[in-house]
Structure formats: C-alpha cells, structure tokens
Amino acid sequence: MSKIHAAITAVNGYVPDYVLTNKELETMVDTNDEWITTRTGIKERRILKGEGLATSDLAAPAVKGLLKKRGISAEEIEVIVFCTSTPDMPFPATANILADKVGAINAWGYDLNAACSGFIFGLATGASFIESGRYKKVLVVGADKMSSIVNYEDRATCIIFGDGCGVVLLEPDTEGNGIIDSICKSDGSGREFLHQKAGGSLKPASHETVDNKEHFAYQEGKTVFKFAVTNMADVAAEVMERNNLTADDIQWLVPHQANKRIIDATIARTGVPPERVMVNIERYGNTTNGTIPLCLWEWESKLKKGDNLILAAFGGGFTWGSIYLKWAY
Ligand code: UT7
C-alpha cells in the first residue's frame, strides 16, 4: 500500500470587521504611518470588538465555512488541534469550546501553544494522526485574539498585532500529495525576550500584576528580530535542502507574517522570487497563529494540485519550524 500523507483538503479563514489603521494608532500612541510601514510593512490590522467575544468566536465562523466548502458535517470531525496563544480561558481548552460552538460532537481536541510557530507545530502533529491511519478528518486551527493581550499604550507592540483565524482540514492522501516533511525546533532560553509575565502558575493574577501591566505581551523587539531573521530563513532552507528542492521547485513560500523585513530575509535565503511568496501583512499585521492559514485561504484560488509549498515560522519560546507540503487539490 502506498504511504499515507496528511493532505490539506480544505482551507478557510475569518477576520473581524473592525480595521485598526496606522492613522488611528497615531492617535493612540506616539507613532506614525511612515515608521510602522518602513519598519514592519503593516498598514492595518483587524480587531475583534464586542463584549463576550473570544478567540473561539474567530474560529467558529472559519470552521463553519470550511465544513460548508468541503461539504461535510461537523459530526465527521474527529480531532481538533487548536493552535493559539490567547485561549478563551486557561482551561478548558479552546478546542473543546470550539467543538461545542460548531457542533463537532464526535471530536476530541486540545490547545497547542507554540506562539507564532503554533500553526507549524499543529500541522506537524495533526499530520501524524492522519499518517498513523487512525484518523481521517483532523482540523488544525490557527487563531488569536491578540488584542486581548496587547497594551495599546506600548507603541513597540501595539502596532504589530492583529486578530484573525485560519483553519485547514487534514485528510489521508495516497497520491503522494500532502505534508511531506516538517522540522520543528524550540529553545526555551529565549522565553525572556517574548512572553506574558503574569496569569500563569509562575505569577498568578493579582492587583499588583494588573497594575504593573503584566498581562500584556512583552517583547524585546530587537533581540527577537535578530533570532527570527536567521532562524526562520535557515529552517526554510533546511527543509528545502533535505528534500533536494531548489527555489525553482517551489511554487509558493508561505512565511509567518511578523515583519516584512523578516519575510524578505527568508525570501533572500531561499531564493524563491517575491511573486511566489504569500504576503498579506500589510492588511492583517501579525495574527500570531493565524498568519499562515490566512495566507493559504487568501491564495487558495491560485494553488494547483501538486504545487510545492514551503511554510516557515518563528515565534516566542523561542520556537521555529518549517513544513514542506504538496498541495492536494
Ligand atoms: O511573531 C513573533 C516574533 N516577533 C517578531 O518577529 C518581531 C520582531 N521584532 C520586530 O519586528 C522589530 O524589532 C519591531 C518592529 C518590534 C521594532 O523595530 P526595530 O527596528 O527593532 O525598532 P527598535 O525597537 O530598535 O526601536 C528603534 C526606535 C527606538 O527609538 P530610539 O531608542 O532609537 O530613539 C524606539 O523607541 O524606534 C522607536 N520606536 C518607535 N517609533 C515610532 C519603537 N516603536 C515605535 C513606533 N513608532 N511604533
């Protein structure tokens, strides 16, 4: 029997309506459109507004749309890997909440937290369920309501992040398409440069942690940039080299959208020409776990069966990774 690969058989995305522009940020912090655009490539990002709305509310419409596109029912979903750094609550898992909201009554699932590399880690682990032969329909969700942990008084972070969700369905493929190879890496000593200080077991929430604004994302941007720029590019090159792929073999490079300058370094390292690189950072900013599946969603109509895609990300942890996949439809 030919090898089972986990193929993406459907993709969908959801971004909230509210558009937070660089112009509006100029009224909130000491910044300007020119600085944000030249340093990051971001022009605007989406924000989920409204009481009682959480990360699962970004994912639910994305999943419902995906099921409709694929023509399957929620009951057919077996596993949900929910990649997020902004779960609805510390527990239970957002995967469980999502399953309830979409009616995936036969699914079990869990949250996966690898910051901006979450979707790569989720796709790699979700693929293993399919490759084992035990499961046939696995959802991998990448979603974050970053606005819930962004300090809109901190100009160094509030300009970067946005809210959004992308989701893919993994199913078995025996034609040679699907996820062919993955590299996932982490180095926990990098945690000091990008993290949320309070709200975990190390520093539970208290009046003091709230007063000190320790429930927001903290980032030492320059250091993170330095690690991101080399590691994301290197890991993309590594997965290409070990599969004997050159830039000519790659139809699409799908980089995590953290900063246009980091994306450009990955373009330079891999040699994939810019017209074959998915970039939508100018419209969504860094949606953390959402960036890569949102790109796949927006470029879906251009993708052809058998296309070679390289996905790559770098994020808090530090975590980083890359996936080589062949598009299956
Ligand atoms: O996806 C997860 C991983 N995260 C990343 O990959 C993010 C990596 N880091 C970055 O993308 C960049 O470091 C930032 C976009 C966050 C910052 O860009 P930078 O070129 O590294 O700027 P910087 O932090 O070195 O700051 C340069 C200057 C500073 O002023 P002084 O000290 O030179 O006077 C900052 O205070 O720019 C100032 N600055 C700003 N000025 C206007 C910082 N933020 C802003 C701002 N508007 N929003």
Which of 134, 92, 136, 140 minimizes the C-alpha distance to 118? 140
Q: What is the pLDDT of residue 2?
A: 79
Nearest CA to ligand 1 atom 20: 39
Q: For the residues 121-139, what does the mean pLDDT come to?
A: 98
Residue closest by Cα to atom 44 of ligand 1: 156
In this chain, the answer to whether the domains covering 5-176 and 180-326 adopt an identical fold is yes
Superfamily of chain region 5-176? Thiolase/Chalcone synthase (3.40.47.10)
Q: Is the dihedral of CA 63, 68, 71, 75 positive or negative?
A: positive
CB atoms under 10 Å from CB of 85, counted, come to 23
Whether residue 1 has pLDDT greater than 70: no
Cα 20 to Cα 116, 147, 194, 256, distances in angstroms: 21, 11, 23, 20
pLDDT for the residue numbered 53: 98
Q: Over 70: is that where the pLDDT of 104 sits? A: yes
Q: Give the tokens for residue 43.
A: 């022009």
Let me know if 288 is exposed, middle or buried by CB neighbors in 10 A (0-12, 13-18, 19+).
buried
The rounded Å distance from CA 267 to ligand 1 centre is 21
Task: Judge whether 111 and 84 are in contact, CB under 8 Å.
Answer: yes
Q: Residue 313 forms beta bridges with which residues? A: 321
User: Model pTM?
Assistant: 0.97
Q: What is 180-326's CATH number?
A: 3.40.47.10
Q: Which atom of ligand 1 lies at the shortest distance from residue 259's CA?
A: 11
Q: Judge whether 183 and 238 are in contact, CB under 8 Å.
A: yes
- Render 154-177 in DSSP notation, one character per residue: -HHHHTTB-EEEEEEEEEEE-SS-
**170-224: pLDDT as tens digits:** 999 999 999 999 999 999 999 999 999 999 999 999 999 999 999 999 999 999 9
Q: Is 195 in the pocket of ligand 1 (CB under 6 A)?
A: no
Identity of the amino acid at 260:
K
Per-residue pLDDT reduced to its tens digit, 3-24: 999 999 999 999 999 999 999 9
Alpha carbon separation from 7 to 99, 131, 159 (Å, rounded): 22, 10, 35
Delimit the domains of the chain by residue range: 5-176, 180-326
pLDDT digits (tens, 9 = 90+) for 310-325: 999 999 999 999 999 9
Q: Is the CB of 257 under 6 A from ligand 1?
A: no
Active-site residues: which are they? 116, 256, 286
Mean of pLDDT values over 46-75: 98
Give counts: helices (H), strands (E), the chain. Answer: 11, 13
Please state, in angstroms and rounded to a whole number, the distance separating the CA atoms of residues 294 and 70. 17
β-partners of residue 196 are 217
